[in-house]
């Protein structure tokens, strides 16, 4: 992969520590704009380090404990001294929060004359062409879609951005969005009749001209890999790139620097080939006969695995399996379909587009050479080949063994500042795991502790007598241990699970228990509604219990009494059947390192720190963190884990948990009487 071409960027001037002290001080400009603002030593020191990195155009890895105020710590120096700045966040929600709330606040406080733009992936913007086509001949799958389409059509008459986040009446996951947005494959670019009005192009143009551009990690890496999001044109002019929630980068980059091709993509292509062939070149071929062999081959490839859910490295698939011949047949049939599309492509742009997509899919199938479990590309980058089967589709993955060499290639060229910040980058102040994943080996890393008084504000509770986490009855044992704590907390609980199966079993048990015991705690379960809706309901209830898996472990901010107890069912080790993890461990062990100690354990600790971080969100929060996994006590590595967590008081007795909540209730009652 070639690195992004760089042009010379202007070098920002230095900034004195005294100026940072003034800006973040008690009488400084931030205090005037932010009602609850008060100076924090760690925030000021972090801002100084970032200002120094910006002045020197160097890299800084910055871990800042919850409550440090890291957003302001990087925004103040970036807005005043950063030249062109790209800020990349973990999620679209955080992106919106930065753009709509945090940056305007800091810009106003500093009277900084900077322009700001928000740039999202193309699937977030309504496409004029696809909307019109869907209005004319839309294949509506439900009555809801018809209503949603009407809302989107109205929205298009008033919106200046086309960003679907502005249209709250249509759920973010509604299927209709797929029919009214474009993909890289289905965009006509400058050939499109609506090119002048295109919201994607408009957003990219604004980003080109802005001083500060807010993106998210998915967009950043999709662009570096696919050159399709507008970041490729931005990066050469940027002095400073800031990654917030930077702990997510290794996973996001791994996903985008790899390749995935699925039977669903093949079937979707076949559907479009049939529709466009019949519309524009009915006499050119027997289109049903053209697509039928490809569809059959794609379905046969999925049927090579009779099980419902499968994750296998190539070397785990038996050489005698029907999988390899099925893959060969799919490739051959794709070639036949491409030959027909070649002849008919000039009949319509949409047929040409199908031809391009077919060639791209065929190319991905070619790259997935199943003769070995690892494959290297022409630049020597090693990839792991593995398959993942779902109920009705099969995915072929080609995942880089390490993203470090690819990411380092992107950082070459004109010097610029790179800031990596998060509350969770280190294991007991040791950044080695993170820096080796990202290829940031010799870069400076600093850590600033949280200003919270964890010893007074929280309690870590590890219950006695739980079975081993791999035992059949484990989730039931967790619920038995959790119930007295949930009752003592008066609901107000997050139950964070490591698997969806555990979420479903825990929900089933708690429903029964709440009903039998007459407990008035509303239950919210991941999957029963969108994440934002569940969190809104949880906050509003005041005594709810929310059960979730990975998506609730981070990026969730519930302050005050509504969340008083966080229960984690087990230590979040990656599943042992993960083919990429297995390949990475094998690689480490070749170098004489221990895969568990040097990879699995630090990854689990960083993930656990994220989950634990949901509990105490400001200086007045008080609560209990309950980790149910007995390995925290029984295994030698347990000590390393709890020493990486906030320094809560610790207990193994439910009585201490009940006392903690009783004292908190008494304090709240006394405060109410005052």
CATH number at residue 36: 3.40.50.300
Evaluate if residue 498 carries a pLDDT over 80: yes
Name the pLDDT band for 430 (thresholds 50, 70, 90).
very high
* 10 located within any domain: no
Quick one: 158 and 215 in the same domain?
no
Among 162, 196, 230, identify where a domain stops: 196
pLDDT in tens, 145-193: 888 888 999 999 999 999 988 888 888 778 888 889 988 778 888 888 8
Give the Cα separation of 354 and 288 in Å (integer).
15
Q: CA torsion sign, 216 to 217 to 223 to 224?
A: positive
Q: What is the DSSP string of 72-120?
A: HHHHHHHHHH-SSEEEEESSHHHHHHIIIIIHHHHHHHHT----EEE--
Quick one: 368 and 423 in the same domain?
no
Q: How many CB atoms lie within 10 A of CB 504?
A: 17
Evaluate if residue 142 carries a pLDDT over 90: no
Percentages (nearest 5) of helix, strand, coil residues in the chain = 50, 15, 35
Q: Residue ranges of the alpha helices (H) in 412-473?
A: 432-438, 454-457
Evaluate if residue 6 carries a pLDDT over 50: no
Name the pLDDT band for 244 (thresholds 50, 70, 90).
very high
Quick one: 469 and 444 in the same domain?
no
* 333 located within any domain: yes
* 7 located within any domain: no
pLDDT in tens, 335-380: 999 999 999 989 988 899 899 999 999 998 988 865 555 666 656 6
Q: Strand 212-216 vs strand 85-89: parallel, antiparallel, or unpaired?
A: parallel
Among 196, 224, 245, identify where a domain stops: 196
Quick one: 112 and 153 in the same domain?
no
Q: Which helix (H) or strand (E) holds 595?
A: helix 595-595
* 11 located within any domain: no
Quick one: 272 and 364 in the same domain?
yes
Find the domain containing 346 and state its range: 259-400
Evaluate if residue 568 carries a pLDDT over 50: yes
Quick one: 231 and 357 in the same domain?
no
Reading the block at residue 63, the tokens are: 């871990």
Q: Is 625 left (phi over 0), alpha (psi -120 to 50) or beta?
A: beta
pLDDT in tens, 109-137: 999 999 999 998 888 999 999 998 888 87
Quick one: 231 and 253 in the same domain?
yes
Looking at residue 15, its pLDDT comes to: 67
pLDDT in tens, 291-330: 999 999 999 999 999 887 788 888 888 888 899 999 999 9
Among 392, 426, 448, identify where a domain stops: 448
Angle at 544 between CA 539 and CA 548, to 5 degrees: 90
Evaluate if residue 9 carries a pLDDT over 50: no
* 306 located within any domain: yes
Domain count for the chain, please give it: 4
Looking at residue 348, its pLDDT comes to: 87
Q: How many CB atoms lie within 10 A of CB 429?
A: 11
Evaluate if residue 10 carries a pLDDT over 50: no
Quick one: 94 and 163 in the same domain?
no
Angle at 309 between CA 304 and CA 310, to 5 degrees: 60
* 5 located within any domain: no
Looking at residue 171, its pLDDT comes to: 82
Q: What is the mean pLDDT of the chain?
A: 88
Quick one: 139 and 56 in the same domain?
no
Evaluate if residue 477 carries a pLDDT over 60: yes
* 6 located within any domain: no
* 3 located within any domain: no
Quick one: 50 and 162 in the same domain?
no
Looking at residue 29, its pLDDT comes to: 87
Quick one: 375 and 437 in the same domain?
no
Quick one: 654 and 615 in the same domain?
yes
Q: Which residue has the higher pLDDT, 2 or 393?
A: 393
Longest dimension (CA), the chain: 85
């Amino acid at each position: 992969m070639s690195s992004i071409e760089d042009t010379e960027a202007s070098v920002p001037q230095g900034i004195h520590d005294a100026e940072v002290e003034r800006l973040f001080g008690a009488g400084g400009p931030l205090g005037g704009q932010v009602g609850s603002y008060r100076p924090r030593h760690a925030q000021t020191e972090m801002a100084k380090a970032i200002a120094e990195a910006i002045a020197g155009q160097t890299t800084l890895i910055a871990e800042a404990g919850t409550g440090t105020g890291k957003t302001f710590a990087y925004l103040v120096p970036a807005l005043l001294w950063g030249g062109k700045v790209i800020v990349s966040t973990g999620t679209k929600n955080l992106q919106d929060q930065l753009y709509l709330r945090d940056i305007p606040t800091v810009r106003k406080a500093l009277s900084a004359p900077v322009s700001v733009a928000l740039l999202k992936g193309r699937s977030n913007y309504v496409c004029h062409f696809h909307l019109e086509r869907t209005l004319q001949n839309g294949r509506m799958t439900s009555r809801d879609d018809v209503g949603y389409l009407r809302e989107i059509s109205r929205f298009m008459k008033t919106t200046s951005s086309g960003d679907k986040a502005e249209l709250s009446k249509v759920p973010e996951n509604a299927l209709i969005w797929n029919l009214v947005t474009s993909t890289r494959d289905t965009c006509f670019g400058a050939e499109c009749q609506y090119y002048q009005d295109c919201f994607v192009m408009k957003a990219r143009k604004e980003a080109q001209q802005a001083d500060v551009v807010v993106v998210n990690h998915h967009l950043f890496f999709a662009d570096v890999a696919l050159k399709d999001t507008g970041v490729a044109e931005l990066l050469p002019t940027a002095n400073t790139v800031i990654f917030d929630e930077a702990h997510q980068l290794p996973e996001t980059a791994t996903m985008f620097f790899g390749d995935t091709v699925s039977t669903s993509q093949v079937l979707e292509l076949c559907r479009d080939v049939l529709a466009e062939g019949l519309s524009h070149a009915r006499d050119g071929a027997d289109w049903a006969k053209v697509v039928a062999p490809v569809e059959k081959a794609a379905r046969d490839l999925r049927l090579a695995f009779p099980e419902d859910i499968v994750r296998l490295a190539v070397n785990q698939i038996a050489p005698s399996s029907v999988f390899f011949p099925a893959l060969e047949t799919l490739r051959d049939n794709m070639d036949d379909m491409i030959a027909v599309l070649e002849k008919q492509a000039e009949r319509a742009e949409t047929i040409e587009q199908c031809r391009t997509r077919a060639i791209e899919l065929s190319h991905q199938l070619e790259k997935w050479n199943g003769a070995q479990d690892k494959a290297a590309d022409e630049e020597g980058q090693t990839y792991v080949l593995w398959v993942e089967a779902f109920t009705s589709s099969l995915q072929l993955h080609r995942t880089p063994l390490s993203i470090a060499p690819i990411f380092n290639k992107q950082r070459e060229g004109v010097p610029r500042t790179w800031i990596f910040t998060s509350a969770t980058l280190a294991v007991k102040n040791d950044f080695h795991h993170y820096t080796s994943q990202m290829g940031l080996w010799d870069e400076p890393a600093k850590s600033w502790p949280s200003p919270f008084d964890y010893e007074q504000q929280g309690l870590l509770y590890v219950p006695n007598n739980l079975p081993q986490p791999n035992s059949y009855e484990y989730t039931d044992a967790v619920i038995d241990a959790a119930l007295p704590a949930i009752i003592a907390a008066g609901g107000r609980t997050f139950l964070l699970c490591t698997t969806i199966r555990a979420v479903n079993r825990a929900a089933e048990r708690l429903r029964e228990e709440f009903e039998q015991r007459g407990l008035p705690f509303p239950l919210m379960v991941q999957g029963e509604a969108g994440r934002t809706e569940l969190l809104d309901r949880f906050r509003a209830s005041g005594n709810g219990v929310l059960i979730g898996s990975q998506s609730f472990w981070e990026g969730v901010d519930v302050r005050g009494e509504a969340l008083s107890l966080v229960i984690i069912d087990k230590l979040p080790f990656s599943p042992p059947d993960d083919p990429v993890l297995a390949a990475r461990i094998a690689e480490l062990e070749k170098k004489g390192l221990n895969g568990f100690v040097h990879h699995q354990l630090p990854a689990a600790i960083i993930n656990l720190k994220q989950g634990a971080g949901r509990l105490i969100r400001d200086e007045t929060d008080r609560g209990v963190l309950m980790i149910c996994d007995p390995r925290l006590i029984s295994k030698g590595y347990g000590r390393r884990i709890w020493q990486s967590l906030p320094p809560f008081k610790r207990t193994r007795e439910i009585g201490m948990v009940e006392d903690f909540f009783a004292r908190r209730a008494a304090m709240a009652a006394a405060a109410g009487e005052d």
